[in-house]
Structures are given as C-alpha cells and as structure tokens.
Chain A
Amino acid sequence: MTELSVLDEINRLLDADGDATVNTSMRLPAALRDAAALAVQHLGIAGSTTSLTATALRRALETAVTEAALEGHFVAHPHARPSLAEVALALAAQDGSPLVDRPEVVERAAAQVVASHPEADADDVLLWAEAQLAVPA
C-alpha cells in the first residue's frame, strides 16, 4: 500500500463500528497492566482498563494519522506549511491570548526559542513570548 492508502485504511478502521471486539495477542508489561488496573479502581480515570487502553490507543492513532496527513500535504504544497510563529499565533487566537495582537513579539520569540531549542513547539513559543511580556522593559 502507498502511504496515502495506509492513512485512508487507518481512518476507515478508526471510523468503523466499534462494537466488534477481539482478544488481542498484544503483550503488555505486567506492571503496566497492574498500574492501569489500580488507577482505574482508585483514581477513576476510566471505566475499565480495556476502555483506558482503547481510548489511549485511539487518541494516539488519530493524532499520528492526522500528523502524517498534514505532513504529506506540506510536502506536496510547501507554501502551505505554516511557520512556528504562525502556529503559535493560531494557538494564541484559540486561547484568547493578548499575544494574538502582538505578532511581532511571537515572531521574535519563535526565532529566539528555536535558536537554542530546535525541537520547540508552538506552546514553547507562547510561553517564552508571555514571559517576555511579563518582564518590565
């Protein structure tokens, strides 16, 4: 299968009727299984270890497949790839942050952050930009 057809097949399976279940042969570390059981029982983080596992797996797959789809789109259309500062500004807008009106601050913060942390993400940029605004000139 090509990569796109793989993505389409993963999406089809994620959208399929979830009533059918299967006893999986996946091997979990016993300690992880026991920790999950205790967390379900005492922390109430899910209805069962099965639902905890399935929900976490679904979220991871949905994020991975969307990331792959976006990255594929950016490879095909390089002009469509937003910069780190543009993603940070988008998040600032979603958050209702006053930084949305200070794009120059966000752009400067993005440049400063990636200079020392090349793997920084948009939230790192927002944090750095907010910190700079909080410091009196």
Chain B
Amino acid sequence: MRALVLDNEAVQALRDERHPKHRQVLAHLAGVLVRRRRGREVAVVVPTSVRVEAGWDRTRPAASAINRLRVADHTLDAGAANVAASIADELAVSVADAHVGAAVRSLPHDEVVVLTSDPGDITRVAGDRPVWPVRV
C-alpha cells in the first residue's frame, strides 16, 4: 500500500491549470491510476492544514475540478494536533508542515510519498518514519 501526500506546492499546482507544475502533478495522479488499474492500493491524501494554506475550500465552485480527483483529507483531529504541535515546537515549522509530518507519521501505508517543493523539510518533519519526498 502506498500513500501519496500532497504538500502546498502540489496542491497549488493541481488547482491552477496555468501553474508551471500543473502538468507534472497531474502526471503523478495519472501514475496513481496506472498502479490502481494493476491492482495496487494507492491513496492520495492532503492534510487539511495544507488545504488551508493553499486556499482549497472544497465548498467553492472553483474547487469542483480538484474535488473530483478524490484526494482524501487527513484531518487535524485531537491526536494529529498533538503530534503536529510537538513537531512545530521542536522544528519551528509552519502548522501545515507540522500537519504533513503528523500525517506521514500516522498513515498506515507501507510506503509514504510526499509531493513537495521542499524535500528536506519533509524528511525532518517525518521524524523516524520512512518517507520518500518527491520534488515538484
């Protein structure tokens, strides 16, 4: 099982067809579908704090296209908030980055891949959890 986690830059690129990395991020989602057609279980996840940072309000009509891509929310519930608070305190990162770290640490998948503009940050917030950051 693999989880593909979207960081802020990936969401920005996905939302805007004029974004220079729009096509690149769509290639990653198309790749997810290739693997699913071959029987692999691949989830695509966005931490809700990343949605806040990227301005992705699912209720807005402008979000209808990205909503159709079935990117699942990783919510900042009580448990995730505790982990994220610890990460933010320890590493002095943003709430969104800390939430990415909390998501990476909690996902039950064997492989966690993060689409990000800053692979170094992802490795730091992931702590001991193996993670594969992919630069977009």
Contact = CB atoms under 8 A, between A and B. Distances in A.
Contacts of A77: 17
Interface centre among B31, B35, B113 (most CB of A within 10 A): B31
A121 B34 contact: yes
A87 B32 CA distance: 9
Contacts of A123: 34-35, 38
Interface centre among A8, A69, A72, A96 (most CB of B within 10 A): A69
Interface stretch (B47-55, B60-68, B75-83): B60-68
Given A11-B68, A90-B24, A70 B38 contact: no
Contacts of B33: 63, 66-67, 70
Contacts of B68: 4, 7-8, 11, 65-66, 69, 72
Interface stretch (A18-26, A27-35, A41-49, A78-86): A78-86
Nearest to B67: A11
Interface string A75-102: 0010111100011111101101000000
Q: How large is the interface on B (under 10, 10 to 19, 20 to 34, 35 or more residues)?
A: 20 to 34
Q: Is the interface of A mostly helix, strand, loop or mixed?
A: helix
Interface string B25-38: 01111110111111
Given A80-B23, A86-B23, A91 B70 contact: no
Q: Is the interface of B mostly helix, strand, loop or mixed?
A: helix
Contact of B26 (A14, A62, A80): A80
Nearest to A66: B70
Interface string B90-130: 00000000000000000000000100000000000000000
Interface residues of A, number: 32
Contacts of A66: 29, 33, 68-70
A69 B69 contact: yes
Contacts of B70: 11, 14, 62, 65-66, 69
A37 B36 CA distance: 24
B87 interface: no
B31 A90 contact: yes
Contacts of A121: 34, 37-38
Interface of A: 4, 7-8, 11, 14, 59, 62-63, 65-67, 69-70, 72-73, 77, 79-82, 86-91, 93-94, 96, 121-123
- Top 8 closest A-B pairs, CB basis? A82-B27, A69-B68, A90-B27, A91-B31, A90-B28, A86-B27, A90-B31, A93-B134
Interface of B: 2, 4, 17, 22-24, 26-31, 33-38, 41, 64-65, 67-70, 113, 132, 134
